Structure 1
């Protein structure tokens, strides 16, 4: 007869050749039942395959090692373990030497086998439905995550639109403008405010759908695990059935795959309608799966709780907020009113999503926007999660980083210097986040002009990273690369020389190529630095060859308009000129300039530097008149953009004077 496991889960029939072997199998099954562990878990702990476990628990006489491993895995208490192991040993010896006087146990009847097979078919059907539900829940959660990002971006846009329309309306009132124009602006403003509230509502719905999908996914996964274990148990003892009753019919289980005057307002309305449709569709999926889970017969005798259908907390409803609430006041309201753990989780989810949006704004090139977003988020996060929560500390680190990327290196140094002792106290001096902050602090010290301080900081950090992370960890390799760079920038202050820097980068490059791959961004950056410092060390021909080899790789891997690829083109053009190929330098800079003007803008520092270099190398190839004309056109732009005393402005003014009278300057 088939026994029953924990919670009523049945086993397949015991197919032993002797009564002693059957008794041993029953005893071992009882230990598995008492432990509550599944066969999958036992297979991992015992280092026996699930097939072997099924065969031995089905009646075959096992090895001593298996019996010992099973008792050890199912009996944690030492004294009980010794007792059960002794009992199992006696049963094993009896099974190995069965009494010939006793007849073997009767084989399972056809009726019993048919019953087990019917249970298998039912379990396969339920498992198939559960796996299909998993795929639907995964898709719903992904839809909600994407929708959340879209809605947060839309809310940002609407906030700016409301502000702009409010300013426009006030200006029209002050100027006593045409009432019709004023009325149209007021209508657009009202519409934008209503759209903002709708966006808040859809955002909260999407957050709730994501939470529901994740919670349901946990329940479905538990159900899949349980159904899989039940199938494993039913298969136990059925290994030889095919010889007497015919082969099982294979059952396929699906894989667990994974026309008005306000066109802007019209676009937003359409986007909100699409967001609502996605929320509605996902809501129907979640509602159906919740109903299926509630109405499905429980496999362990326990009826799951019946969660409310798409509950929405009144404490965080956006229609409870003022008509012109920003998302920050919404988050503050959520934090103040979060009196239950579920409301608190929603507030944390809003904060987390906002932090991710701020991060990707910086990664998309808007460093100043990232600084603004993180600066607005930080006080809210400190209120929601606390000032020393790891996520709050991460926000402080991101804010400091993007301050530096936005051009405020001194501000980044100050922020990182204030953050570091907090992380050392809260997270520990060797925590990965603490070490990352130390590396960032060293980097921005160098960028702020303290190259010697950067060298000292990186030199102190490197042995700690080698000990904590290992010598080939990406963070350790980054520190080696930064140390080599700032040693040269510090020059005589720390004994840095171009030849030494070349040696450092040359030693680092093969490690990066082996550990991270030849096309990893860090590897390509190291190739770039190695090429540059070869030139600084006097190998101009070598640097041209190195950049000529690196450039097509950068253009293929990162794209021809990526900043690193453009910088490589600048360096290649400049070093061509330094090797005496002024004509080649002029051609390269002439080809590059319109690309920079289009990609980075006509007044970007790199674009202005390219204009200056192009003018200089025109003079060097013999076109002094063209050089004077180019420098004359560039100088007023630099004076306006960078200031009269900026080093680039002074260099351009000096170059203009030089090429106006090249003969007097030795040309």
Structure 2
């Protein structure tokens, strides 16, 4: 017999815990890796790569078992061990910071999640520079998390800073810049800052008018902006935006294309919601959209909000 303190015994326990998890026994995996963490620290030392890997697996299976707070806490302990063993600039530090952010988000711990995103972005900037795509992606993640947790102004501020960076890196009319600017518009509207949202909307429309106004990405962006105006209370503005979208879709796809009918239906819908149209007009437009969708083989048909109007 090899005994409890033989390296092969620790490796076997690690494999057993892993296969328990992969077979669906997540609680068994958590319990198994908790033992492996202790054994690996005793046999290999707390700074050994095997010990750090065991910690990472322990945190992972805690999260998969539904203990999101426990997973974030385990990652926080792992982070301290990694810093001692590897130094501040090792790539594994960024991975663990991202895991802390991920599990904190799942746990609904807003303060911990934002703090983890802040540390992650700081780490990425230090190692990769402020313009690396990973840094930009983490910034978007932090902004969207803030917005979905109710910090609309914070989300808009994050994306406003990102827009400035993307303009200098890629240009004002590039897809990622427009996507970030669209995010600023949506979060400003959610925050109730109509004046700031209107400025962003005007800027977006100006960019769209002078660039590929009929390209698929720009048509989608116009649609999202129009929906955003309606859903945040500017129903008349939504109707006007959909009128303009309908013209662009007609120009790009032809007057008989199914998206034209759906866009026209949206015009009728938002005019009705703003008190400037009739329910009869919606039903007529809805029927045209449905007929065109069926005859052209488009299974999805009109948007969900439109299908609900009988």
TM over 0.5: yes
The aligned residue for residue 125 of structure 2 is 386
Work out whether residues 124 and 135 of structure 2, in 8 Å CA contact, stay in contact via their aligned partners in 1: yes
2:235 is aligned with 1:476: no
User: Given the two structures, how large is their TM-score scaled by the length of structure 1?
Assistant: 0.30
2:279 aligns with one of 537, 540, 545 = 540
Q: Distance in 1 between matches of 2:110 and 2:88?
A: 32
The structure with the largest alpha-carbon Rg is 1
* Secondary structure in 1 matching 2:186: helix
Q: Distance in 2 between matches of 1:448 and 1:540?
A: 31
1:568 aligns with one of 298, 306, 309 = 306
Q: Write the deviation string for residues 550-607 of structure 1: whole angstroms up to 9, x where unpaired.
A: 579699539xxxxx63x3355x15xxxxxxxxxxxxxxxxxxxxxxxxxxxxxxxxxx
The aligned residue for residue 266 of structure 2 is 529
1:269 aligns with one of 22, 28, 34 = 28
Work out whether residues 146 and 155 of structure 2, in 8 Å CA contact, stay in contact via their aligned partners in 1: yes
The aligned residue for residue 138 of structure 2 is 395
Work out whether residues 438 and 461 of structure 1, in 8 Å CA contact, stay in contact via their aligned partners in 2: yes
CA RMSD of aligned residues (A): 5.2
Work out whether residues 454 and 486 of structure 1, in 8 Å CA contact, stay in contact via their aligned partners in 2: no
Q: Write the deviation string for residues 412-446 of structure 1: whole angstroms up to 9, x where unpaired.
A: 22333344445556666556433322221122222
| Residue 482 of structure 1, CA deviation | 4.8
2:220 is aligned with 1:459: no
User: Would the alpha carbon gap of residues 530 and 449 (structure 1) be closer, same or farther in structure 2, given more than 3 Å must change?
Assistant: same
Q: Write the deviation string for residues 312-332 of structure 1: whole angstroms up to 9, x where unpaired.
A: 835843459999752244346
The aligned residue for residue 450 of structure 1 is 193
The aligned residue for residue 44 of structure 2 is none
Work out whether residues 153 and 188 of structure 2, in 8 Å CA contact, stay in contact via their aligned partners in 1: yes
| Residue 340 of structure 1, CA deviation | 11
The 5 Å alignment of 1:7-86 reads: none
User: Would the alpha carbon gap of residues 550 and 403 (structure 1) be closer, same or farther in structure 2, given more than 3 Å must change?
Assistant: farther
User: Would the alpha carbon gap of residues 528 and 376 (structure 1) be closer, same or farther in structure 2, given more than 3 Å must change?
Assistant: farther
Q: Distance in 2 between matches of 1:542 and 1:322?
A: 60
- Select the structure with the greater relative contact order (CA < 8 A; seq sep ≥ 6): 1
The 5 Å alignment of 1:206-217 reads: none
Work out whether residues 227 and 238 of structure 2, in 8 Å CA contact, stay in contact via their aligned partners in 1: no
| Residue 385 of structure 1, CA deviation | 1.7
The aligned residue for residue 75 of structure 2 is 327
2:154 is aligned with 1:411: yes
| Residue 532 of structure 1, CA deviation | 1.1
Work out whether residues 334 and 347 of structure 1, in 8 Å CA contact, stay in contact via their aligned partners in 2: yes
| Residue 354 of structure 1, CA deviation | 7.5
Q: Distance in 2 between matches of 1:401 and 1:524?
A: 32
* Structure 1 unaligned regions, length at least 5: 1-196, 207-264, 274-311, 559-563, 574-667
